[in-house]
Amino acid sequence: MTKLDKAHRLVVVCDGAKAILLADAGTALVPRLSVLETHDEPHPSTAALGTDRPGRVHESATTARSATEETDLHAQAEAAFLGRVAARIGVMVEAGTAPERILLVAPPRALGTLRGALSAKVKGRVDGEIAKDLVMLPVEEIGRHIVT
């Protein structure tokens, strides 16, 4: 019997560089969390990822020039990581190994990115979202923060 056989809820705690998938076999007031998977992908700063100058735009009618906004490579790497986390949750749902209820816990910006990357089937199982950065806390502390 695996940890997910007894679990009634999958708790996904993540940010742009780390994700922890937890099985919750407890109650709403006393969660019993156990770690199923951890995914860690540290991203260097944007300056370390790319050091090119911003692009320039030349006006066709005048001699005026202006700079274009630099691409935030760090934010792109975080969004790609959250997309892979969403895909992993989707695989668990499709395989039938995920519980019927899913709780998402992430900082607000990461939560929005993760929510946008989830499939319709996974979105139907999401029964709660907590907009907090709890990924660096021990599992026991996470349990205290998710009590409903």
Quick: pLDDT tens for 83-135.
999 999 999 999 999 999 999 999 999 999 999 999 999 999 999 999 999 99
CB 120 within 8 A of CB 113: no
Beta bridge partners, 18, equal 40
By residue range, what is the domain housing residue 64?
3-145
Instruction: List residues bridging with 126 in a β-sheet.
Output: 102
Residue with tokens 């929510």: 115
Residue-wise pLDDT for 46-73, tens only, equals: 666 666 666 767 777 777 777 777 777 8
Report yes or no: 82 and 12 within 8 Å, Cβ to Cβ. Answer: no
Q: Tens digit of pLDDT for each residue in 26-43? A: 888 899 999 999 999 887
Report the C-alpha gap between 81 and 23 in whole angstroms. Answer: 21
Residue 1 has pLDDT above 50, yes or no: no
Q: The pTM is what?
A: 0.82
Domain of 17, CATH number, reads: 3.30.420.60
**What is the pLDDT at residue 50?**
66
Domains: count for the chain: 1
